[in-house]
Structure 1
Amino acid sequence: MSITASPDVARNARPYLYGGEEAAIASALSAGQYNHGAVTEEFEQALAAFLGVPDVVAVASGTAALHVGLLAAGVGPGHEVVVPSFTFCATVQAILAAGARPRFVEVNPDTGCVEPAEVLGALTPDTRAVMPVLYGGRAIDLSPARPALDEQGITVVEDAAQAFGSWQGERRVGATGVVTCFSFGPIKNLTCGLGGAIVPRTPLEANICRRLRGLGIVESAARRAEVTTYTIDGFGMRVQMSPLNAAVGLVQLVHFAEAETRRRALWRAYAAALDGIDGVSLVDADVDRTVPALCAVRVLDGRRDRVFHALLERGIGVAVHYPPNHTQPAFAAWHRPLPVTEHLGGQIMTLPFHQHLTEAAAEHITGELRAALAAETDR
C-alpha cells in the first residue's frame, strides 16, 4: 500500500522557477519573433559573460548541442567516439546522429565519471572524439590524457548536460578549452524549459555551430532581412533556441547564485543523513566544486530493486540514472564487456533532488531509505 507523501518528496526532480519567468515569456511573445531573435543572442552573451568565454551558441536542446558540437569538431561517418556507457541515452543518440559510432568505456563507480586511463585504453585508429559525461555535475579532468589525444587529433566534446555552473579548478566548466555542451532542460540546474548550448573553441567553430543550427545558412537573420538572397554553404538543421526559451534562461541566470547555494546545501544534507547507513554508498559529487544536478547512491548487496520499489510504495520518488547503454537493444552493435558499469547499473539509485526540497525533507527521505534497508535485512 502506498504511503502518502508530499508532492515534492514524491518527485525525483522538478523544475524550479524564481517568479520572473512568466513576465519574460510574455515580453518575448509580444515581440513576435519566436524562431531566433535578439533575446536568444542576449542569452548567449549573458552565458558567455557568466562562464568567462568569448562565445556561446544556443540551441534547442542538450541533445542538439551534442550533435552540433560533434559535427563542428569534424566527427562523422567512419569515426569512433569514446563515451561512457553510464549516461543518458541522448549522449549515444547524438553520436549516432553525427554518423559516428560509440566506443563504450567504464567509469569510476565512486563518481560515475570516466578516468583518463580508461579513455586512453579505449582509443583506436578510428577514434575522432572523446565525450566525457560530467555525471551529476562533477567536472572531469582529462589533462593526463590530453597530450596523447592532441597528438592523434582527437577532440574532447564534453557532455556537461548536468554540470552548468560547476568548476574545474579556477574556471567554470565550459571555460577549460574543450568543446562543452550544456542542457537547459526542465530539471537542470538552469532551465529554459527546453534548450542547450555549445561553448566553441574558436570563432571559426562558433560560426560552424551557428550554420549547423540554422539550416546551413551563412547570413544572420538580421542580415537576411536586408538582402534579396542568402547563401547555404553546407548541411544544417533547424535547432535554434527560441527567444521564448531564452527569456526563461535569462531570468534563471540572474538567480543562479541561489541555485548554486541551495543545491549544494541539499546535497550536503543528504550526505550527512546518509553517513553511517550500512548497505548504501553515496556517489561522490565533489560538492565543493560542483553544482549538483542529482544525488545518487549505490544500494549494495543486490538489494537495489527491492529497496527501489519499497521506497516508491512509501511515496518517495526515487529513480535510476542510468541503465547502462551498452546493454540496450538499440546499441547492441557496439556492445563490449563492461563489468564495472554493469555492476554499477544494478546498484545505482537517485534520491529526490530539486530546489523545492528542504534539508528536513532530505532527512525524511533518508530515514525512509534506512527503514527500507532495515526491512530488507530482516527478510
Structure 2
Amino acid sequence: MTTTARPDAGRNASPCLYGEEAAAVARVLEGGQYGHTEVTEEFEGRIAEFLGVRDAVAVMSGTAGLHTALLAAEVGPGHEVVVPSMTFCATVQAILAVGATPRFVDIDPATLCVTDQLVMDAVTDRTRAVMPVLFGGRAIDFSRIHKELAARDITIVEDAAHAFGSRNGVRRVGATGDLTCFSYGPIKNLTCGQGGIVIPRGHVEAATIRRIRMLGVVQSQAERAMTTSYGVEGFGLRYQMSGINAAIGLAQLDHFGKAETTRRSLWRAYRRALAGLDGVTLVDVDPDRSVPHLCQVRIPYRDEVFAQLKACGIGVGVHYPPNHLQPAFAEWTCDLPATEQVGREILTLPFHQHLTEADIGQVVTALDQALKTVGAASCARS
C-alpha cells in the first residue's frame, strides 16, 4: 500500500476548538486569579443545568473524579469494585488508589460494555461499588438491577469519560446514576484542556467531594482570606479545577450542539462506508442516543492490518489492551473470553470533528485494501 493519508485521516483523535477558548482563557489570566475561582463555579453550574442535575463538582481530571467518587461512596480496603477489563487503565488505578480490589468482569462484544447480568454474576459479599464504563459514549441502563444493588449497599459509579452528552432514555447521562464521572481531557467530546466533573447523588456526597478536592479544607478561598486560620476536616488532595480550564470548558459548552450533530453524522458516515466489507464488524454505540467518542471495528489480522495502515499514514489506534492482562494488575487476572477476543481484534479508526466524508472514504478504502493484502498473505503462508 502506497497511499498517503490526508492530514485529518492521519490523526486518530484531535481536539476541536471553536475560536473563543483563547479569549476566555485570556480573561481569566487578566483577572489575576488562576486557581479555583468563580469561573470554575460558573462552569459547575452550567454543566449541572445542561445535564438537568442538582449539582456538579469540577475536578482536575476524569481520573481524579473516579478517585473522589469512590472515596465519597466510602469504598476502601477490603472492598471489591466490579469493573470491566476493557477500559483505560485510569479506571483501575482509581480503584487501587482507594485501597480496594478490582473484580474484572467480561463485556458484551457487540457494544464493549458490561451488562446487568454480567455485573450481578460478579457481585460478592465484598462488593461495595460497580463501575460500568460507558464505552465509546454508549449509555448503559442499570435500572433493572439498581434497587437490588442499593439494597446490598453497592454504589454505581459510572465511568462516563466517553459519554458526555449521551442519553439514557430521555435524560442525559449523569442524571440517572448514583455517581457519574466525566472527563474533559484534550480529545473528549467537550474539552477543558484537562479536567473532569463528578455528579453526586446529593448534598452530603457533593460536600465530601468538594472537601476532598481541596485538601480536606472546608472553607472557600474567599472565606480563608478573611481569617487567620482554616479547618482541615478530613483527607484531601489537590484535585480542584482551575479557572483557566473551566474557561475553556465554558467556551466549549456554548457550541456543544454542533459537536453532538457532527460526531453523530461522522459515525453514521463510517457505518455507511463500512457496510458490506468482509470481515469487519462495527462496534455499535447507538448513535441515536449517544454522542459518539470512538469509531471502532473488530477485524481479523488486527496487528498486521494496524501496521499496514500506519505505514500509509492512517491514524488508527487500539482502545484498549485488556487490563486483566496488564503486568501491573496480574494479581487479579481471570478468564474473560469475550474481552480477550475483542482485545485481539479491536481497531479504532480516526474519529474527530475535523474529519470529512472524503477522509472517511479514504480510511475505509485503505482498511479494505489492508485486509485483502494481509488475508492473501496469510492464505499464501498456510
The TM-score normalised by the length of structure 2 is: 0.97
Alpha-carbon contact 2:262-2:353 (below 8 Å) kept:
yes
- CA deviations over 1:262-316 (Å, ceiling 9, x no partner): 000000000000000011100000000000001010013xx11111111111110
Matches within 5 A, 1:5-154: 5-154=5-154
Looking at structure 2, the residues matched to 70 and 19 of structure 1 have their Cα atoms a distance apart, in angstroms, of 36
The structure 1 residue matched to 2:307, chosen from 309, 312, 328, is 309
Q: Which amino acid aligns with 1:316?
A: I
Which portions of structure 1, spanning 4 or more consecutive aligned residues, are displaced by more than 6 angstroms? none
- CA deviations over 1:192-227 (Å, ceiling 9, x no partner): 000000000001110000001000001111211222
Looking at structure 2, the residues matched to 29 and 109 of structure 1 have their Cα atoms a distance apart, in angstroms, of 47
Looking at structure 1, the residues matched to 262 and 359 of structure 2 have their Cα atoms a distance apart, in angstroms, of 13
Q: Which amino acid aligns with 1:341?
A: T
Alpha-carbon contact 2:108-2:114 (below 8 Å) kept:
yes
Residue 270 of structure 1 pairs with residue 270 of structure 2: yes
Q: Which amino acid aligns with 1:350?
A: T
- CA deviations over 1:47-94 (Å, ceiling 9, x no partner): 000001011000000000000111011111111000000000000001
Give the alignment's Cα RMSD to 1 decimal: 0.9
SS in 2 for 1:378: helix
Q: Which amino acid aligns with 1:374?
A: K
How far apart are residue 359 of structure 1 and its match?
Answer: 1.6
Looking at structure 2, the residues matched to 238 and 2 of structure 1 have their Cα atoms a distance apart, in angstroms, of 49
The structure 1 residue matched to 2:327, chosen from 326, 329, 336, is 329
Looking at structure 2, the residues matched to 147 and 217 of structure 1 have their Cα atoms a distance apart, in angstroms, of 34
Looking at structure 1, the residues matched to 60 and 157 of structure 2 have their Cα atoms a distance apart, in angstroms, of 18
Looking at structure 2, the residues matched to 125 and 15 of structure 1 have their Cα atoms a distance apart, in angstroms, of 43
Alpha-carbon contact 1:2-1:315 (below 8 Å) kept:
no
Looking at structure 2, the residues matched to 96 and 159 of structure 1 have their Cα atoms a distance apart, in angstroms, of 15
Partner of 1:364: 362
Alpha-carbon contact 2:6-2:359 (below 8 Å) kept:
no
Residue 338 of structure 1 pairs with residue 348 of structure 2: no
Q: Which amino acid aligns with 1:156?
A: I
Looking at structure 2, the residues matched to 273 and 290 of structure 1 have their Cα atoms a distance apart, in angstroms, of 20
Q: Which amino acid aligns with 1:363?
A: G
Q: Which amino acid aligns with 2:311?
A: E
Looking at structure 2, the residues matched to 33 and 243 of structure 1 have their Cα atoms a distance apart, in angstroms, of 8
SS in 1 for 2:26: helix
Residue 257 of structure 1 pairs with residue 222 of structure 2: no
Matches within 5 A, 1:349-360: 349-360=347-358
How many residue pairs get aligned? The number is 377
Looking at structure 1, the residues matched to 165 and 2 of structure 2 have their Cα atoms a distance apart, in angstroms, of 37
SS in 2 for 1:323: coil
Partner of 2:380: none
How far apart are residue 3 of structure 1 and its match?
Answer: 4.2
How far apart are residue 4 of structure 1 and its match?
Answer: 2.7
Looking at structure 2, the residues matched to 220 and 5 of structure 1 have their Cα atoms a distance apart, in angstroms, of 51
Looking at structure 2, the residues matched to 195 and 283 of structure 1 have their Cα atoms a distance apart, in angstroms, of 27
Looking at structure 2, the residues matched to 2 and 197 of structure 1 have their Cα atoms a distance apart, in angstroms, of 44
How far apart are residue 376 of structure 1 and its match?
Answer: 2.1
Alpha-carbon contact 1:2-1:312 (below 8 Å) kept:
no
SS in 2 for 1:346: helix
Looking at structure 2, the residues matched to 82 and 177 of structure 1 have their Cα atoms a distance apart, in angstroms, of 16
State, as a whole percentage, how many aligned pairs show the same letter: 62
How far apart are residue 147 of structure 1 and its match?
Answer: 2.4
Gaps of 5+ in 2: 378-382
Q: Which amino acid aligns with 1:164?
A: F
Matches within 5 A, 1:223-242: 223-242=223-242
Looking at structure 2, the residues matched to 61 and 107 of structure 1 have their Cα atoms a distance apart, in angstroms, of 25
Alpha-carbon contact 2:281-2:297 (below 8 Å) kept:
yes
Alpha-carbon contact 2:217-2:233 (below 8 Å) kept:
yes
Alpha-carbon contact 2:5-2:362 (below 8 Å) kept:
no
Partner of 2:371: 373
The TM-score normalised by the length of structure 1 is: 0.98
How far apart are residue 336 of structure 1 and its match?
Answer: 1.0
Looking at structure 2, the residues matched to 116 and 152 of structure 1 have their Cα atoms a distance apart, in angstroms, of 15
Q: Which amino acid aligns with 2:109?
A: P
